[in-house]
Structure 1
């Protein structure tokens, strides 16, 4: 079983949850109708270079009791770099620089890090870091309409991932809602705002400052 970088609970969900969201955001604007969903998603990703957005995240446990609610901002640059900033309820920064993933808990003064290849294995973040067609990595299927939204489901083909599936809801051509289901019964609900596609981003966003004080823990 592949495991995410450990993040001291109950502050935030696993890094796998993070990268799932990043990958799903990369699909913003992709039409969700029709059976050729995989081809449409591939076409959209072909033109994606950078993305930034505010996020609101709510995580529920297996009995659907709310565990955590958080807000922040994300930045990504293809291929393979992203920055995830939790602002509330705890300050935390997660950076992927193309080789390693760093999780910096500012309040606990701790940094966890792991190779990016190991941290992202089996997750939809592979959409951002590999050139394989989406259908080689995931089973992509349209779902029945729910309310005013169209839905697409992605299931990882890798049997050793902690992720069971994600469901992406579109209002027209705009991504509106994302649900992530893991093998422990947890569900993460995500909404997005102030989405900016293909705008220049500073390199410093994706560089971890190794002079940061506190505990520095490696998990390879």
Structure 2
């Protein structure tokens, strides 16, 4: 469950100066709003890299991400183990297919301050985050988001765009663990069906409610 837990312990540096580099970085806040505006659905391949706070070995996972706004998403992990995380708008189900075990809990209790909340909610991101521009010396346009709620394990998010497209999400939790999501083959507003986000209880699976 390490890869799934990295997502939901459950997925940001304000300074603007009058220089060309900083003016480019200042577009990060606008980029967040522009990207979310008109976003109805999303499909992408992802690579997830988690760096433990204790300096232990990096954990890496890969899979496919599906999003249908509002508040429905599906993470399908296919490496190193097969897992599914499904949000149906009310609850989140985490299914470890190797253990045939499902844990589930209230979606709102899990999402506050997470990348999933940023992407899945139709509310303006300023409703949940303090957003600022982040200057970084690479080819991405960055913004930093600090959750407004105190009742979350996530302390900050950083989101990077390339040519207006979602490229990278960085998440830091209150334990100091860092998780990086790298997105490829991003398809904006594909035709996704609501049925994809209905969780069917697997036959014979342990079914554990967290709340």
Q: What range is the shorter-chain TM-score in? A: 0.7 to 0.9
RMSD: 2.3
Question: By how many angstroms is 1:202 displaced?
Answer: 2.6
**Structure 1 CA distance for aligned equivalents of residues 186 and 178 of structure 2:** 23
Gaps of 5+ in 1: 1-7, 21-31
Are 1:51 and 2:42 an aligned pair?
yes
Query: Which residue among 82, 99, 104 is the counterpart of 1:91?
Result: 82
CA distance in 1, matches of 2:188, 2:93: 24
Structure 2 partner of 1:13: 5
Deviation track 1:20-56 (CA, whole Å, cap 9, x = no partner) reads: 2xxxxxxxxxxx9454644542343230111000001
Kindly indicate whether the alpha-carbon contact (under 8 Å) linking 2:47 and 2:60 is maintained by their aligned counterparts in 1. Answer: yes
Q: Which runs of 5+ in 2 are unaligned?
A: 12-22
Larger displacement relative to structure 2 (130-139 or 102-111): 130-139
Pairs aligned (count) = 200
Deviation at 1:167, TM superposition (A): 1.5
* TM-score for both structures, normalised by structure 2: 0.84
Instruction: Name the stretch that deviates more: 139-148 or 153-162.
Output: 139-148
* Cα shift at 1:134: 1.6
Output one character per residue of 1:146-172: Cα deviation in whole Å (capped at 9) or x when no partner.
Answer: 233332111101112111111122334
* Residues 1:170 and 2:161 aligned together: yes
| Farther-moved stretch of structure 1 (153-162 vs 36-45) | 36-45
User: How far apart in 2 are the matches of 1:82 and 1:136?
Assistant: 20
Q: 1:23: which partner in 2? A: none
State the TM-score, normalizing by the size of structure 1: 0.81
Counterpart mapping for 1:74-85 below 5 A = 74-85=65-76
Q: Does 1:125 align with 2:116?
A: yes
